[in-house]
């Protein structure tokens, strides 16, 4: 796997770990209301979904990091497959996000563009 793909995978894994923290533990912070389109009265209603989504992002971060570790330790096809699948998954999820909530277009770009670049780097 190319060095650029490995670096981008790790950068995206770190970002996803940050998103995990925001979604799973910090989602009640007022500065995050606009990011999640939340209002204080919605916290109890969305807790189940937002915390669960945060842990999805955490497992995705782990998968990206594990893919890089595998590739660097001589298991290149397995590492590339894991990174490619995870990147492709996030490209797809970015499109779903855009289709379901157009107001989150910036989130869609932040999720979809880096992972599309990562996918291309791994596949080419």
Give the number of other CB atoms < 10 A from CB of residue 91: 18
Report the distance separating Cα 40 and Cα 47, nearest Å: 11
As a whole number, the mean pLDDT across the chain is 89
CA distances from 100 to 46, 61, 81, 96, 108 (A): 16, 23, 28, 6, 11
Q: 60-84 pLDDT, tens per residue?
A: 999 999 999 999 999 999 999 999 9
Q: 79-120 pLDDT, tens per residue?
A: 999 999 999 999 999 999 899 988 888 889 988 999 999 999
Mean pLDDT of 4-25: 91
Q: What is the pLDDT of residue 80?
A: 97
Q: What are phi and psi of 38, to 5 degrees?
A: -105, 155
Q: What is the pTM of this model?
A: 0.84
Domain housing 8? 3-123
List of residues 6+ apart from 54 with CB closer than 8 A: 19, 20, 21, 22, 23, 24, 25, 27
**Domains held by the chain: number:** 1
pLDDT of residue 38 exceeding 80, the answer is: no
Class of residue 62 by CB neighbours under 10 A (exposed 0-12, middle 13-18, buried 19+): middle
Give the number of other CB atoms < 10 A from CB of residue 37: 12
């Amino acid at each position: 796997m190319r060095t650029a793909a490995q670096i981008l995978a790790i950068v995206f894994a770190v970002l996803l770990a940050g998103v995990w923290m925001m979604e799973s533990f910090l989602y009640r912070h007022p500065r995050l209301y606009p990011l999640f389109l939340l209002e204080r009265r919605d916290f109890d209603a969305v807790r189940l979904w937002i915390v669960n989504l945060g842990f999805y992002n955490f497992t995705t971060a782990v998968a990206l990091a594990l893919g890089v570790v595998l590739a660097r330790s001589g298991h290149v096809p397995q590492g590339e497959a894991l990174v490619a699948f995870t990147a492709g998954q996030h490209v797809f999820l970015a499109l779903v996000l855009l289709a379901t909530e157009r107001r989150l277009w910036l989130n869609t770009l932040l999720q979809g563009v880096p992972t599309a670049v990562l996918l291309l780097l791994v596949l080419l």
